[in-house]
Structure 1
Amino acid sequence: MPSAKPARERILDAAYELMLTVGLARATTKEIAKGADCSEAALYKYFASKEDLFIRVLSERLPRLTPLLHGLAAEPGRASLEENLTEIARRATLFYEQSFPIAASLYAETRLKRRHDDVMREMGTGPHLPIEGLDTYLRAEQGAGRVRADADTFAAASLLLGACAQRAFAYDATRDGTRPPVDDFARRVARALRVGLC
């Protein structure tokens, strides 16, 4: 019996599951369509390419950071700076934790990575946008007087998101292979950054 979900949702679900288990390079549109119980032609009705589908998986199936950053930048002063940075770090940590297993294979295949980067440029998206969004938020807080006037907001944004991305793979080789708990990690990173910004 076919799923009651619309085809586009089934395709996104199947792509997410397949990309998570075998990586982007090995997740073929044929296998994704099969997992979604539809034809490849139906897949291409909703998504222009596998790269387009991958970007939609990232934006629609993983924790969303951009709307949070835009909302905070529009309303500086909402909650405490440390609370806001903690929530940003928490979402970023979860996003990178889930996206790294999917995207890692991009870096093993130069042509695939180049094609993926071209599609991201065409769509006006990319991994630089969260850094720019966090920089915009921190500059808004600077304008509100909650961040030092001489603070380097771009460097601070890069440090926070870099730490969150690093957590996704830096602890795999430890004795027990355990990453620091998300909430504790986010709180500690946010506190360290806040101390440097205020």
Structure 2
Amino acid sequence: MEQRPTRVRIVDAARDLMRTAGLARTTTKEIAKAAGCSEAALYKYFASKEELFLTVLSERLPQLGGLLGTLAADPGGRTVEENLTEVARHAARFYEQTFAVLASLYAEPQLKQRHDEAMRTYGSGPHKPIEGLAAYLRAEQRHGRIAADADPMAAASLLLGACAQRAFAWEATPDRRPPDSLDDFASAVARTLLRGLS
């Protein structure tokens, strides 16, 4: 049986450890051990834990950035409501899977500061999806499919904020599950937001 490539093992191990222990508590030493390689081998592929985290986000979690970029470049085809529903579905899944990873950062201010600095260096951060969704909504404005006086940045913040809040709010309940399905939530959020944009 052929063993998976070292880089794949590292990214998978990082994803699993970050999801269970959080980003703050996961060390490169633990990731390397779980991947069955040395810490030096890990650094052969990744310059830092932050770069590895970004790789986990882009390769192992639901993709949000790619969807938003595609919609901003070509918003046609489906209705605005269908597009916003798809964004909400992806965003809710993304935040649900990253909430535990990122929550631990807020308990350690110095680590969060280092993480934020690294995200700026890599041109990434939690504001990027908001900017991407706002760009899509501006494209829809140019096509006349949403009101000219609508505020794309505010609308993007509302939709993505609702998706992030869904991951946060229901985590503390006994079932750790929202009362509605992901599809019902996504369509309700999109429909409600669209009323304000129309």
Q: Distance in 2 between matches of 1:116 and 1:153?
A: 28
| 2:36 is the alignment partner of 1:37 | yes
**Runs of at least 5 residues in structure 1 that lack an aligned partner in the other structure:** none
Contact 1:72–1:78 (CA under 8 A) maintained in structure 2: no
| Residue 149 of structure 1, CA deviation | 0.5
Residue 162 (structure 1) aligns with: 161
Question: TM-score, normalized by length of structure 2?
Answer: 0.96
Segments of 4+ in structure 1 off by > 3 A? 172-177
Where do residues 48-197 of structure 1 align in structure 2 (5 Å cutoff)? 48-174=47-173, 176-179=175-178, 180-197=180-197
Asked if structure 2 preserves the Cα contact closer than 8 Å seen for 1:96 and 1:164, the reply is yes
CA RMSD of aligned residues (A): 1.3
In the alignment, the residues of structure 1 paired with residue 167 and residue 64 of structure 2 have an alpha-carbon distance, to the nearest angstrom, of: 16
Distance 1:173 1:99, change over 3 A: closer
Question: What is the DSSP-based 3-state SS (H/G/I as helix, E as strand, rest coil) of the residue aligned with 2:104?
Answer: helix
Counterpart-to-counterpart distance in 2, 1:112 and 1:70 = 30
Residue 178 of structure 1: how far off its partner (Å): 2.3
Q: TM-score, normalised by structure 1?
A: 0.96
TM-fit CA distance, 1:175 = 6.0
Instruction: Work out the CA distance in 2 between the residues paired with 1:175 and 1:112.
Output: 30
The count of residues paired between Structure 1 and Structure 2 equals 197
What secondary structure sits across from 1:88 in the alignment? helix
Percent identity among equivalent residues?
66
The alpha-carbon deviation at position 176 of structure 1 amounts to 4.3
Q: Which residue of 1 aligns with 2:12?
A: 13
